[in-house]
Structure 1
Amino acid sequence: MKVAIVGCGGLGNVHASCYAEMPGVTVVGVCDIDEEQVRRTADRIGAPAYVSYRDMLEQSGCEVVSIAVPSYLHKQFSIEAAEAGKHVISEKPIALNLADAREMIDTCRNNGVRLFVGHVVRYFPEYAQMKHQLADGTIGRLGVAHTSRIGGHPGNVRAWYFDEECSGGVILDLMIHDIDFIRWAGGEVRSVYSQRATSRELDYATATLVFESGAVANLKAHWGYPGPFTTAADLAGNGGVIRTDSSRSASLQIRKTEASASGGPFVEVPQSPGYESPYYTELLDFIDCIREGREAVVTAEDAYKALEIALAAAESARTGKAVMIGQDTRKAESV
């Protein structure tokens, strides 16, 4: 499989490293408007460098384009690739509005190519284990979930993150990871209520999601946290709790309500997240889906739904009202 990469920033280089190690995959081009940056990436993995995206599409012979450019450019680069007959692997979010997201999905379908969106949390072992433990009935029926994703403000490294028209802010860029995960784990979402505080150096949001099942999830996302990047999640059911916290050495703990043989009230079972990069696992799954004609763990429609919920959360934070999913996200109803 011949792959080309556009965008040679942090995630673009992650993509490059993954593809360079992937059996049966050849990186036939890397592209960025920053000539120094694209040359460094190209030299590191031994691939041709391009500063023109059009030239790369026309000259590299690529079958797949991996898109790792700022969020507001996802639609433009995806549609150009699809119209050139290339499969598309785009970083999340799929786009910054639903019309652009739908156009991307439709354009890929109409041109007979696949569209994949990098909601990589589904490929993190600890999150995948939580999903499977819930599906297997380990903790019974989901009642309440909590997630947290906090770290420094990325705008201090890449200024475009400060511009909400480019990044979508902390909800569309960061919280959307947990929105996708919690929908994957808990099912369809009925409504969302969100609050948000922002300044030049801080973007903080919380969101309460109510599922069609009646379960509730509380999500927190924070740019500007004065400490290391950390994530945490717990799922509570009528039979126990599953918890993961990246700040702890154990990646996953399962606490069941049955008494243990030692007489304690809980049994805790730590699970290892493994050693393979989730980005490698994700990208390999996307490539194998193209080869085998099957669906990925996360589909383009999943990415559309995650964006729909994220936009509803952003609208709720703006209006102070709950937003029903599936309705126009510009319309909110009172809590």
Structure 2
Amino acid sequence: MAIRAGLCGYGPMGRTHARLLTQHEGVELVGVADVQEDLRKQVEDELGVKTWASGEEFIEAGVTDAMFVCAPTYLHGPLAIQALEAGQHVFSEKPMSLNADQCTAMIETAERTGKLLTVGQVLRFWPEYVYLKQMVDSGELGRLLTLSMFRVGGVSRGWQNWFLDEERGGTQIFDRHIHDSDMALWLLGKPTAVQTRASEGEEGGFNHCFTQYHYPDVTVHAEGSADLPDGFPFVMSYLAAFENGALEYSNRHSPTLSLYRGDGKSESPELPNPIGSLQTGLNISSASGYFLEQVYFFDCIRTGRKPDIVSPESARETVALVRLEIESARCGKAVPVV
């Protein structure tokens, strides 16, 4: 029997997920909710599925087994909790929430209802970032010495400018930069402290930030922005220097990932399958992290195992870390991570 999937929110990420949801065997996209009438009409025309004017009404209809929450960030917690209470598994887009307390409420609801909850920290499914983790964990290139991460682009606004609203969207530090905060945690665990410098956006919050993550034996830095002119291409990249080599990744390069072993030559390493033996129906070079995280989520539903690539507890830890980065930016000094 097919898993009945629904989606709340048809903005950029909602559209990405909705179109990918139609590509899975054994999964049926049964509907989409969005407050904007023109987007509902677009869904009906392009996807041929039923639409609802609100996520709350869609969840109440009880026609889904799994709900993808891709609404504005301030709605992630309320919609996820409602869906879990209604007996639906939940995939929440990142960030999990704007504060750790609401993340805890989401986790407790999932535990009480026995439903699965995961979060779209998609870089954990991005082959080039998974390769970086393999090199860090295996020691094949020696010890990691430095890691610089970069994620910049033009302004994101969204419905009623919610991306720019610190209370509703958290601004880019929660929308873009959080990916690299999550990478620091996934690759190296908790830093001892964070130190962030940032510039404020149009409506408050931080739309350009630089963070140093303090670790005893490795230097880690991340820059994130959403304040560049319209038309500036989105760029995500990293440069990792090891004792015996270096990795350079950029979505603007072809090939995207280069490995340097110190012999004056570079190579393009074979990319790993982030979800192991699970079948995607696509080769890894053409399967995006967004599709792979969906494959993994549906496999967890079918097998009944809790998601551990992105556990809700780890997503909560990432939210808490970004909160400390904001605190550091406001006070102008390093903040301990406890």
TM-score of the superposed pair, with normalisation by structure 2: 0.89
Query: What is the letter of the counterpart of residue 214 of structure 2?
Result: V
Q: CA deviation at 1:103?
A: 0.8
Q: CA deviation at 1:60?
A: 4.6
Hey, what's the Cα distance between the residues in 1 that align with 2:133 and 2:160?
Answer: 33
Query: What is the letter of the counterpart of residue 264 of structure 2?
Result: F
Partner of 1:260: none
Partner of 1:315: 327
Partner of 1:66: 68
Q: CA deviation at 1:196?
A: 0.3
**After the TM superposition, which residues 121-136 of structure 1 pair with which residues of structure 2 at under 5 Å, given as runs?**
121-136=123-138
Consecutive unaligned residues in structure 1, runs of 5 or more: 258-264, 327-335
Match of 2:117 among 93, 98, 115: 115
Partner of 1:284: 295
Q: Secondary structure at the match of 1:166?
A: coil
Partner of 1:303: 315
Query: What is the letter of the counterpart of residue 224 of structure 2?
Result: A
Query: What is the letter of the counterpart of residue 193 of structure 2?
Result: S
**Is the 8 Å Cα contact of residues 126 and 272 (structure 1) preserved in structure 2?**
no
Hey, what's the Cα distance between the residues in 1 that align with 2:315 and 2:137?
Answer: 21
**Is the 8 Å Cα contact of residues 141 and 245 (structure 2) preserved in structure 1?**
yes
Consecutive unaligned residues in structure 2, runs of 5 or more: 272-284
**Is the 8 Å Cα contact of residues 176 and 310 (structure 1) preserved in structure 2?**
yes
**Is the 8 Å Cα contact of residues 146 and 234 (structure 1) preserved in structure 2?**
yes
Partner of 2:214: 210
Match of 1:225 among 224, 228, 232: 228
Q: CA deviation at 1:158?
A: 5.7
Q: Percent identity?
A: 30
Partner of 2:240: 235
Q: Secondary structure at the match of 1:218?
A: strand
Match of 1:15 among 14, 17, 22: 17
Q: Secondary structure at the match of 2:174?
A: helix
Hey, what's the Cα distance between the residues in 2 that align with 1:244 and 1:82?
Answer: 37
Partner of 2:172: 170
**Is the 8 Å Cα contact of residues 141 and 238 (structure 1) preserved in structure 2?**
yes
Partner of 2:108: 106
Partner of 1:330: none
Hey, what's the Cα distance between the residues in 2 that align with 1:68 and 1:111?
Answer: 21
TM-score of the superposed pair, with normalisation by structure 1: 0.90
2:266 aligned with 1:268 = yes
Q: Secondary structure at the match of 2:221?
A: strand
**Is the 8 Å Cα contact of residues 252 and 272 (structure 1) preserved in structure 2?**
no
Partner of 1:262: none
Q: CA deviation at 1:15?
A: 1.1
Q: Secondary structure at the match of 2:202?
A: coil
**Is the 8 Å Cα contact of residues 7 and 18 (structure 2) preserved in structure 1?**
yes
